[in-house]
Structure formats: structure tokens, C-alpha cells
Structure 1
Amino acid sequence: MAERPTTSWRRGIGEEAEELAAGSLDPDCACMAGLFPEELLLATDAVLDTFEAELSTLSEVDDARVFAVVERVVLALNAVNDAHDGCAFETDEREQLCDYIDQVLTEHGVDVVALTARHELGRYQLTDKWRKW
């Protein structure tokens, strides 16, 4: 099962907190909690909850319906990013989110390579049409 990016981000926050408490990390070098405030994590999880729930209701894997679900998750993530002054998701986070979307689609029976090829897209262009983050 695909691991949510927010799970990884929370783990990083916890590890950093442990290092700070142990004195093995200079407080000036600590950044995880600032990069991933709880409000951002909760908003991102809510979007991913909806994405997963929508995929679970697809009785057929047809291109139009899959693209509609992808569009909705990307637009919702755009809104989360906008709510955080356009800097919620940096390069690593963008890649993690796109990879997560790809993995979850695959787990729900979507052949992402075939889907994107049918629409003359590269595999990693699945979210590009709507993505602003």
C-alpha cells in the first residue's frame, strides 16, 4: 500500500524533535515543523482521504472518470498550496504527491502508463494539466 507523503513528513518532524531533545541537532538547523505545520498536514490528508474514497467508488476504470478524479485531487491540492501562500509543496513534496497519486491509481487497477499513453502524455505528466504546485 502506498505511503502517504504526510506520513513521511510527520515521521521527519518526529525524528527532528528527537534529535533536538537529544541535543544532536542544532536548533538553528531544525526546519521540519516549520515546513509542515499541522494545519498543512491535516488539509493535505483531507484531500488525500477524498481522493482515495472517490477511487474506491469507481466501478469501472474508464479514462474520463479517472482523469476527473485526478483533476479533483490536483485542484484540491492547489487550494491547499494557495492557502499556504503558494509554498506548501516544494520540489520534493511535489514529487512525493505525484508519485502517491500514481501509486494509488495503480493499486486501484489503473494502468497509468497505458492511460497516459492513450492521451499522448508521458507517465509523469498525469497531473500537469491542472497542477500549480
Structure 2
Amino acid sequence: MATRPTEYWRESVAEEARQVAAGELDAEDASTAELFPEDMLIRTDEVLQPFERELAALIDPTDEEIFAVIQHVVLALNKVNEDYDGAAYETDEREQLCEYIENSLTDNGIDVDAFAGRHGLTRHEITDEWRDW
């Protein structure tokens, strides 16, 4: 099952907090809590939860239905990113979100390479039409 990137991001925040508390890292050098504020993580989860439900509800989906679910999640993530002045998701986070979307599709029985190929895309391009982050 695809793991939400927010789980990894929360683990990073917790690990850095542990390092600061243990004296292994100066508080001035700690940045992950700033990079991943809890309200942004909550908002991202609020986007990913319905995406997971929408995918699970697809039974023998058409390509149009698959694209609609992808578009919906990407546009919602665009909104979160916009609300954080375009800085909610940096390069690594963008890649993790795209990988999560791809893995979620695969987990739901969709051959992502075949799906993308039918539309002249690679698996890494299936979000590009709508993605601003």
C-alpha cells in the first residue's frame, strides 16, 4: 500500500525534534518543522484521503475516470501549495507526491505505464497537465 508522504514528513519533524532534545542538533539548525508545518501536513492529508477513497471506488475504470481522479487530487494539492505562497512542496516533496499518486494507482490495479502510454505520456507525466507545484 502506498504510504502518504506526510507520514515521512512527520517522521522527519519528530526525528529532528528528538535530535534537538538530545543535544545532537542545535535548535538554530533545525528546519524540518518549518518546512513541514503541522497545518500544511493536515491540509495535505485532507486532500489525499478523498483521493484514496475515489481510487478505491473505481471498478474497471476508464482512462477518463482515472484522469478525473488524478486531476482532482492535483488541483486540490495546487490549492494547498497556493495557500502557502507556492512553497508547500519543494522539489523532493513534489517527487514524493507524484510517486505516491503513481503507487496509489498501481495499488488499485491500474497499470500506470500502460495507462500513460495510451496517452503518449510516461508515468511521470500523468500529473503535468494540472500540476502547479
What TM-score comes out, normalization by structure 2 length? 0.98
Q: Is the Cα–Cα contact under 8 Å of residues 61 and 109 in structure 1 kept in the other structure? A: no
Task: Give the match for residue 127 of structure 2.
Answer: 127
Matched, 1:20 2:24: no
Task: Give the match for residue 11 of structure 1.
Answer: 11
- Could you tell me which runs of 5 or more consecutive residues in structure 1 were left unpaired when the two chains were aligned: none
Computed over aligned residues only, the root mean square deviation of the Cα atoms, in angstroms, reads: 0.6
Task: Give the match for residue 103 of structure 1.
Answer: 103
CA-to-partner distance for each residue in 1:83-131, whole Å, 9 max, x for gaps? 1111000000000000000000000011000000000011100100000
Question: Shift in Å at residue 29 of structure 1?
Answer: 1.2
Q: Which amino acid aligns with 2:90?
A: E
Matched, 1:116 2:116: yes
- Could you tell me which runs of 5 or more consecutive residues in structure 2 were left unpaired when the two chains were aligned: none
Task: Give the match for residue 51 of structure 2.
Answer: 51
Question: Shift in Å at residue 61 of structure 1?
Answer: 2.2
Task: Give the match for residue 69 of structure 1.
Answer: 69
Distance in 2 (CA, whole Å) between partners of 1:86 and 1:117 is: 30
Q: Which amino acid aligns with 2:34?
A: G
Q: Which amino acid aligns with 2:32?
A: M
What TM-score comes out, normalization by structure 1 length? 0.98
Question: Shift in Å at residue 56 of structure 1?
Answer: 1.1
Question: Shift in Å at residue 59 of structure 1?
Answer: 1.4
Task: Give the match for residue 34 of structure 2.
Answer: 34
Distance in 1 (CA, whole Å) between partners of 2:95 and 2:19 is: 26
Matched, 1:2 2:6: no
Q: Is the Cα–Cα contact under 8 Å of residues 43 and 80 in structure 1 kept in the other structure? A: yes
